[in-house]
């Protein structure tokens, strides 16, 4: 691979102008490194042609890489070359006309309302500080729809018992207001009271000056799932976010309001939950409609 200073400039732009998180930057870096490896030792990434990119995408498909991962790699390249175009480094975007592989239709995974209740009951039975973190995390994620990184970055002073709304800075530094439930505020208060006095974050890590890691919180959720009699493989912080959205829609929430709560820039991202609701309603009709029942019974 040939080092390319323009890749570094691109990553700096993502961090400074778009507020990209460290994990996002690492993913972009990995994508650019992979393309550079494909080009070999004779060419910098910033000098690649449309034929180079097409050949790269073909190699990804031949290798059996998942279509979604291929699409993400191409998206990274398109953004990189668009950055070079806007900066005047190039006069074209060689990735612009390259088509992404067709993605399989996938619906977000979510829990039923009774399964969420079972999880919350199990968390209340978990002991010590880990139990308080599990309970507070479940209450906050399920009642607000926050991304796990947004929740773990909450300061120790967040979710005071008299606060009705929570100000969240999400992707790209965009702020949004989220209403708070009584259960979330009280669970946060209990966690705060049991945490070290000098902890800077509500969900403090082993180093109390740092927040708990996503991996650490995910392990707590897995433990809660086992206690609740659920398959741990079905549970993750993002599944709780999907459950929040799916259950709100099922109870009549407005799609635009849900978009604001989730912090989606494009309502098309939120609309996937309407497919979840449609699938649930279809199953309900098939299971309970008199004609469907008669036909199944012969």
Taking the C-alpha atoms of residue 213 and residue 273, their distance in angstroms, rounded to an integer, is 28
Which region holds residue 155: left if phi is over 0, alpha if psi is between -120 and 50, else beta?
Answer: beta
* Whether 171 is catalytic: yes
pLDDT grade, residue 151 (50/70/90)?
very high
Fold annotation for 113-235: hpI Integrase; Chain A (1.10.443)
Question: Which pLDDT belongs to residue 297?
Answer: 55
Bridge partners, residue 178, by sequence: 166
> In sequence order, which residues have a C-beta less than 8 Å from that of residue 124 and are 6 or more positions away?
131, 135
Unique residue bearing structure tokens 């995974």: 109
Contacts 24+ apart (CB under 8 A), 210-213: 211/152, 211/153, 212/133, 212/152, 213/152
Handedness of CA 207, 213, 215, 219 (dihedral sign): positive
Which of 185, 192, 247, 264 is catalytic? The answer is 264
Mean pLDDT, range 142-152, rounded to an integer:
94
Q: Look-up: residue for tokens 């494909």?
A: 38
pLDDT of the residue at 279: 62
For the chain, report the end-to-end CA distance as a whole number of angstroms.
Answer: 66
Give pLDDT tens digits for 280-295.
Answer: 666 666 666 676 555 5
At 253, list the tokens.
Answer: 């929430």
Among candidate residues 28, 110, 142, 273, the one labeled active-site is: 273
- The DSSP secondary-structure symbol of 210 reads S
Given a contact cutoff of 8 angstroms between Cβ atoms, the answer to whether 106 and 58 are in contact is no
In this prediction, residue 261 carries a pLDDT of: 93
CA distances from 217 to 108, 181, 214, 223 (A): 21, 21, 5, 10
The residue from 6, 241, 242, 247 that is catalytic is: 241
What is the tens place of the pLDDT at every residue in 49-108? Answer: 999 999 999 999 999 888 889 999 999 999 999 999 999 999 999 999 898 888 766 667
Catalytic: 142? Answer: no
pTM comes to 0.63
Residue 264 annotated to the active site: yes
Q: What is the mean pLDDT of residues 151-168?
A: 87
């Amino acid at each position: 691979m040939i080092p390319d200073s323009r890749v570094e400039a691109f990553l700096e732009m993502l961090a400074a102008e778009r507020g990209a998180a460290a994990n996002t930057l690492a993913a972009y870096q990995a994508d650019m490194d992979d393309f550079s490896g494909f080009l070999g030792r004779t060419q910098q990434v910033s000098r690649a042609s449309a034929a180079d990119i097409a050949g790269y995408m073909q190699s990804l498909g031949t290798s059996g890489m998942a279509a979604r991962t291929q699409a993400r790699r191409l998206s990274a390249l398109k953004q990189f070359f668009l950055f070079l175009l806007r900066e005047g480094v190039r006069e074209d975007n060689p990735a612009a006309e390259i088509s992404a592989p067709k993605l399989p239709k996938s619906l977000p995974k979510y829990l039923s309302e009774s399964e969420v209740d079972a999880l919350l009951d199990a968390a209340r039975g978990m002991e010590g500080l880990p139990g308080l973190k599990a309970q507070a995390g479940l209450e906050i994620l399920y009642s607000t729809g926050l991304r796990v990184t947004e929740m773990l970055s909450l300061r120790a002073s967040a979710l005071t018992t008299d606060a009705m709304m929570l100000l969240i800075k999400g992707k790209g530094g965009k702020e949004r207001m989220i209403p708070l439930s009584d259960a979330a505020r009280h669970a946060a208060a209990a966690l705060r009271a049991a945490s070290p006095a000098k902890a800077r974050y509500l969900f403090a890590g082993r180093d109390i000056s740092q927040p708990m890691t996503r991996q650490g919180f995910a392990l707590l959720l897995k433990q809660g799932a086992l206690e609740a009699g659920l398959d741990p493989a079905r549970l993750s912080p993002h599944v709780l976010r999907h459950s929040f959205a799916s259950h709100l829609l099922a109870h009549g929430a407005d799609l635009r309001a849900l978009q604001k709560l989730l912090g989606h820039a494009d309502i098309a991202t939120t609309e996937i939950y309407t497919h979840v609701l449609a699938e649930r309603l279809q199953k309900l009709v098939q299971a309970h409609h008199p004609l469907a029942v008669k036909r199944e019974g012969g």
